[in-house]
Structure formats: structure tokens, C-alpha cells
């Protein structure tokens, strides 16, 4: 009986109407270099009463909160020009990942608008938004399938030459070429047969194969040993060339060369500027650097300087 109830609950969630829907008159985003713009964006999660699950319909409505959640992001405005790199820096829980998730429209802005190439993502087709934006997070999402299939998920029509080129650019082709089954090697559930650095480089190869105009990197080098980090950093540098990039990182070596650094605290942008400007101004950014929360080891800095 317990198993039956559990399955009923699972199917309830699967049948839940998606919160992100495409408008009937949605138009695809234009092809080409893409600017990213946040215009007075605020965000909160929905109240419990706004989530419609069948198992909750019998619950006394008075027990379900109708109060909206607290705003997590507050009136954010910034613009990333085509080809620019902008870094988000701040303490854990500041809202950096939530900001990044609004770009591919994984979440919906509560107020304000997120625009790609001047077009509100809510008025664009979901397919075109997802095609323009590529994401690499700290946990690479790999399927229990072959290396080839994991790569082709990004672009099913890619040729063998395309696959090899992306793997070379991601600094992982030497490894793949040495495997007995090459691209037909099964990576295991969640890629457990690969090391952390190898999984990250495979995720970067998949992003390069997709060839998006906007790249979002969310702590892509977190939890890696120093040797793996050097290889992943080189692959990331290749991935950002010529693309509009939003980077979330705690490593000074990753953010110091950004065209613009946005310092986020409690869902607000409290400082903005280049590394030199922010160090000179003092404040939260300088504090983070001084306390080494940005990983300001000289070896890392020299590697990317």
C-alpha cells in the first residue's frame, strides 16, 4: 500500500501543469551575437497555495499559505554586451544561481524582464531561448549512456568530426582516444566512471558542440583538485571566446579578468565594477578577496594572468 501511495504521489507531480509556458504568439530569437539584459528584475518562489496538487485539494485551504514567498532578488538591472564576460561574486545564498537560472528561463521573473537580444524571454519561443543559452554547472549532468550519446544530446545532427573537434577544444580528446571503445564507452549513471574533472570537460565539450551565443558557468571548477582545475580552466577559456558569458565563481583567477564584476548580497547588487575598481573601493568584494573566499592563491592567479 505504501508503494502504491508513493507512485500516486509521483504521478501527481508528473501531471502538474508546468509553470513556464510558451505564449501562443511567441517568436524565435534572432540568430547571431546575443546581449543579455536584466531590467528591474525581482523574483520570489510561488506560495504553497499557488501549487495545485491533487493530494492537497482535500487539505483545509486555511492550512496552506496563500502568502507569497519573500523576494529573493530585488530590482536587479545590468547588461552584458555580446562577447562580454560578467562575473557574479558574493557569499553563499546571495542569489547568484537564481540570477543565472533566469537567463534560460528555468525560472520566471516575478517583476521586471530578462531580455536576450532586446527580446523579453517570455515572448520568445522556449526552443530558441534554450538554443541560445548553454550552461555548465558544478555538477555535470551525464546520462547512463555512451560518450557519443551524451554529446549528441546537445546537437543530434553533429558529425564525427564535430564531436572530435569539441572534445579537443575541451581538453579531453586525448583521454577519449585512449579508451578501448572510444566514443562508444559507457560513462555510467551520472558519469560515475569519470573523474570530476573529466565530467566537467565532457560537459564543456557538449556546450561547445551546441555552440550557444550565451554561456552561463555556475561554479564550474568547484570541488576539483588543482590539476583538474587547470585543465577545466583552459577548456572554459576556449568556451567563452566570442560568446556572451555570465560566470559564477569563488576563484579570483576566474573573475579578475571579467569585463564587469557584480557583487551580490541578499539578492541585491551591492557593488559593480572591474577587479581593480572594486579593490580600490573597498567593501564586500575587497573583504571577500582579503579573507580568501575568492580563492586568491597566487598559483591560480598566475596561471590565468
pLDDT digits (tens, 9 = 90+) for 56-108: 555 444 544 556 678 999 999 999 999 999 999 999 899 999 999 999 999 99
Counting the structural domains of the chain, the total is: 1
CA pair distance 44, 50, nearest whole angstrom = 12
Q: Tens digit of pLDDT for each residue in 202-248?
A: 999 999 999 999 999 998 777 667 777 777 778 888 888 889 999 99
| 158 phi/psi in degrees, rounded to 5 | -60, 145
| Whole-structure pTM value | 0.83
DSSP of 187-198, one letter per residue? --GGGTTS-HHH
CA pair distance 244, 80, nearest whole angstrom = 7
Residue 301, all three cell numbers = 592567479
The answer to whether residue 63 sits within a structural domain is no
The answer to whether residue 261 sits within a structural domain is yes
The answer to whether residue 223 sits within a structural domain is yes
The answer to whether residue 113 sits within a structural domain is no
Helix ranges restricted to H, the chain: 2-15, 96-102, 126-132, 147-152, 160-169, 173-178, 196-210, 226-240, 252-255, 275-281, 284-290, 298-304
β-strand 36-43 against 111-116: which pairing, if any?
A: antiparallel
Residue 188, all three cell numbers = 555510467
CA pair distance 301, 253, nearest whole angstrom = 5
Residue 298 pLDDT > 50: no
At residue 293 the predicted structure's pLDDT band, cuts being 50, 70 and 90, is low
The answer to whether residue 298 sits within a structural domain is yes
At residue 302 the predicted structure's pLDDT band, cuts being 50, 70 and 90, is very low
Q: Name the DSSP class of 13.
A: H
The answer to whether residue 32 sits within a structural domain is no
| CATH number, position 160 | 3.40.50.300
The answer to whether residue 20 sits within a structural domain is no
Residue with cell 576566474: 254
- Structural domain including 289 reads 82-106+131-304
| 244 phi/psi in degrees, rounded to 5 | -75, 125
CA pair distance 83, 137, nearest whole angstrom = 20
CA pair distance 121, 58, nearest whole angstrom = 36
The answer to whether residue 116 sits within a structural domain is no
Amino acid at each position: 500500500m505504501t508503494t502504491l501511495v508513493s507512485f500516486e504521489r509521483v504521478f501527481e507531480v508528473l501531471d502538474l501543469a508546468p509553470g513556464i509556458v510558451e505564449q501562443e504568439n511567441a517568436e524565435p530569437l534572432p540568430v547571431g551575437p546575443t546581449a543579455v539584459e536584466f531590467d528591474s528584475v525581482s523574483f520570489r518562489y510561488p506560495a504553497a497555495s499557488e501549487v495545485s496538487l491533487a493530494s492537497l485539494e482535500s487539505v483545509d485551504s486555511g492550512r496552506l499559505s496563500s502568502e507569497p514567498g519573500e523576494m529573493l532578488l530585488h530590482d536587479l538591472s545590468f547588461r552584458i554586451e555580446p562577447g562580454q564576460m560578467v562575473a557574479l561574486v558574493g557569499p553563499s545564498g546571495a542569489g547568484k544561481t537564481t540570477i543565472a537560472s533566469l537567463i534560460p528561463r528555468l525560472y520566471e521573473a516575478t517583476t521586471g524582464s530578462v531580455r536576450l537580444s532586446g527580446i523579453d524571454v517570455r515572448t520568445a519561443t522556449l526552443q530558441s531561448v534554450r538554443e541560445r543559452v548553454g550552461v555548465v554547472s558544478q555538477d555535470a549532468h551525464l546520462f547512463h549512456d555512451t560518450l557519443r550519446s551524451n554529446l549528441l544530446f546537445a546537437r543530434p545532427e553533429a558529425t564525427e568530426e564535430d564531436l572530435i573537434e569539441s572534445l579537443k577544444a575541451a581538453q579531453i580528446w586525448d583521454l577519449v582516444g585512449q579508451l578501448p571503445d572510444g566514443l562508444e564507452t559507457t560513462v555510467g549513471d551520472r558519469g560515475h566512471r569519470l573523474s570530476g574533472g573529466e565530467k566537467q570537460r565532457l560537459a564543456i565539450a557538449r556546450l561547445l558542440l551546441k555552440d550557444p551565443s550565451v554561456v552561463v558557468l555556475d561554479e564550474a571548477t568547484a570541488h576539483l583538485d588543482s590539476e583538474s582545475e587547470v585543465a577545466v580552466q583552459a577548456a572554459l577559456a576556449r568556451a567563452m571566446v566570442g560568446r556572451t558569458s555570465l560566470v559564477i565563481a569563488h576563484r579570483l583567477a576566474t573573475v579578475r579578468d571579467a569585463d564587469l564584476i557584480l557583487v551580490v548580497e541578499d539578492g541585491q547588487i551591492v557593488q559593480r565594477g572591474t577587479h581593480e575598481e572594486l579593490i580600490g573601493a573597498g567593501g564586500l568584494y575587497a573583504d571577500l578577496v582579503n579573507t580568501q573566499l575568492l580563492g586568491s592563491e597566487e598559483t591560480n592567479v598566475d596561471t590565468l594572468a
